[in-house]
Chain A
Amino acid sequence: MKRLMPLVSIAVVMGLASLAQSALNDYYQRILAVIAINVILAVSLNLTNGYSGDFSLGHAAFMAIGAYTSAILTLPVRTKAVVLPDLPPWLSQVELPFILAPLISGGLAALVAFIVGLPVLRLRGHYLAVATLGLMVIVQVIALNWQPFTRGARGINGLPPFTTVLWAYGWMLITIAVIWRIVHSSFGRAMMAVREDELAAACRGVPIFRTRLLAFVCGAFFASIAGALWAHLITAITPSSFSFLITFNVVAMVVIGGSGSITGSVIGAVLMTLLPELLRRLETALAIGGQPLYGLSQIVIALMMLGVMLFRPQGLMGRRELPEVLALIGTGSTTHSPHVNTTSEKTA
């Protein structure tokens, strides 16, 4: 029974997703899809920020790469001739199906992450945070200036609306499954070893740099897929879609959910998608003197982040995962899964 649990939950999620797709109206479908995309973003950011201990602020950069790549690859040839007339011929004649485009965008982002990671991951801590933030600015500036490929500030609109609830949840499950396997493999344990004590890990023969680089590249791959899904959900992308705000919100999901817990990232992503959505309605409903309170939802996110940092720095889940929590509830005992480094809870 226990071994069937993952399969059962996958079936349940996909069943619910297809039900939602046929029964709910566009608005709710869109919110559901955004939740799935945010889960992908948060879980993949957790790989670096939570597991390998490299605090990256560059997630929006990879998302942008994914969104633009997928947009250029899937736009119908005839539309492309009008919208992006200056594309090189090998790109302007391409029109890929939606199963391939995110994969290729993911691959491209992974390649970029690899090339950028080689120098950038020589940095640690703050320096890495700012360097990855710099990467985000660089990608944004390129999107703003590389007219033949991105149309600059006008962005690309009229993308085929491929992303459905089913697609989004399918990719979400794949992401969670893959990252779960990564984290619970020997490679995942190497990542955590690097996070806890680099010197000790190196002494035990963990290839430090390769481990950190791989975590970064995997995170970028899935961030890019999330970007592609997002582009085909919203159907219009501009350079400012991938601003610091996105990075900030994904970081908030990971931090609030608990860095180093996939379950935490999922919870964080769901919470941080639904809550601002509800608050956004309040923004216009609570208009004081006819003026909507724009910014309220971001303020609440920021306050929650502050609250978590001050009162529960390890986040809602700490480093626990769902099966452990279930086991705890089930048996009432305090046994921990051997996968999780419980001794390091205090340093979270």
Chain B
Amino acid sequence: MVTPSYIAQQLINALNIGSIYALVAIGLTVVYGILRLINFAHGDMMTIGAYVALTAVTALAMPAVAALLVAMLVVSALGVLIERLAYRPLRGAPEVAMLITSLAISSLIENGATMTLTAQPRPVRLAAELTQRVNALGLSFAVMDVLIIVLAVGLMIALTLFVRRTTLGIAMRACSENVRITQLMGINVNRVIAVAFAISAGLAAAAGVLWTGKFGIVDPFTGFLPGLKAFVAAVIGGIGNIPGAMLGGYLLGFAEVFFVAFMPPEVSGYRDAFVFVLLLVVLLVRPTGLLGAHEVNRA
């Protein structure tokens, strides 16, 4: 059963899932770094992104790439809007206040989607070419699988360049070091936070489109579990740290896929439990994650 081609197949699968976790984890980490907010509504941004792309493809007959862009733009705007309406008034409130708010927003989005779009899962067909299977090097994979990896890596490179090279990116990193001092340096912190939310939500939307494109189905709760797992990924890598989130995403993707692929079938049902046990272990052994820096106050 465990042949080289089986292992290679699982590798592709792990790279796929890992890429998506990485994209979602980056979004969580960028916002957490600045606001110390674990955004429970982050996974739901994936869901909305998927619905927007689906609508763009089916109702507006857009090509898949354009639909992806539209989804990212729409969800980015939504992310900024949510920050403005729900999180900004809570700045300076206890940390838990924002956490509770994000729980409420998550529920709002999920049930809003249930109410308007019904809980009925919908098939996702972005483009016929994407589901075509390619046979190469003794492997069989869908075009979508390659696309996910390429797109995710592309987005991550773009983000890294943005954070390293542009003024706004540097301001963002400064904010995650220390918001108050950054403000004293004359940086418009509100703008930086808005940009962080736009990036975060945009990446989640892209991840959502890729996720539903891969699994071919979307419902109002699609994003919840990947959103939670992306948090695990972010913690593994060291929350607040962007390269850490990427690393954590891929590590988690590999751990999860290989757990299912190489464990006996009776055990593989425990996959989601495995992920959270992993989280507990990481939190206890190395709470700052693999690449995480010291954190002054993690209470």
Interface residues of A (CB under 8 A from B): 55, 119-120, 122-127, 129-131, 133-135, 137-138, 141-142, 144-145, 198, 244, 248, 251-252, 255, 291, 293-296, 298-299, 301-303, 305-306, 309-310, 313, 347
Contacts and interface: CB of A to CB of B under 8 A. Distances in A.
A134 B38 contact: no
A101 B284 CA distance: 34
Given A251-B100, A306-B105, A127 B224 contact: no
Interface of chain B: mostly helix, strand, loop or mixed: helix
Interface in B202-237: 224, 228, 231-232, 235
By Cβ-Cβ distance, the 4 closest A-B pairs, closest first, are A134-B276, A295-B111, A295-B114, A141-B273
A303 B109 CA distance: 11
B115 interface: yes
Given A294-B115, A296-B115, A306-B105, A144 B269 contact: yes
Interface of B: 36, 38, 86, 89-90, 93-97, 99-101, 103-105, 107-108, 110-115, 118-119, 224, 228, 231-232, 235, 266, 269-273, 275-277, 279-280, 283-284, 287, 298-299
B96 A299 contact: no
B111 A302 contact: yes
Given A137-B228, A141-B269, A255-B100, A298 B284 contact: no
B276 A305 contact: no
B280 A133 contact: no
Given A125-B95, A291-B118, A301-B107, A130 B273 contact: no
Contacts of B272: 137-138, 141
A130 B101 CA distance: 15
Contacts of A55: 96, 99
Contacts of B119: 294-295
B298 A127 contact: yes
Contacts of A255: 100
The residue in A119, A138, A251 that gathers the most chain B C-beta atoms within 10 A of its C-beta is: A138
A309 B100 contact: yes
B108 A293 contact: no
B108 A306 contact: yes
B108 A123 contact: no
Contacts of A313: 90, 93, 97
Interface of chain A: mostly helix, strand, loop or mixed: helix
B168 to A, nearest CB: 26
A294 B101 CA distance: 22
A145 B111 contact: no
A123 B279 CA distance: 12
Contact of B287 (A127, A142, A244, A299): A127
A145 B267 CA distance: 9
A248 B273 contact: no
B87 to A, nearest CB: 10
A170 to B, nearest CB: 32
Contacts of A124: 298-299
Given A248-B103, A294-B118, A347-B94, 16 more contacts: A55-B96, A125-B96, A125-B299, A134-B228, A142-B273, A145-B266, A293-B115, A295-B112, A295-B113, A298-B110, A299-B111, A299-B112, A305-B100, A305-B107, A306-B104, A309-B104
A12 to B, nearest CB: 34
A255 B275 CA distance: 29
A134 B299 CA distance: 19
Contacts of B105: 302, 306
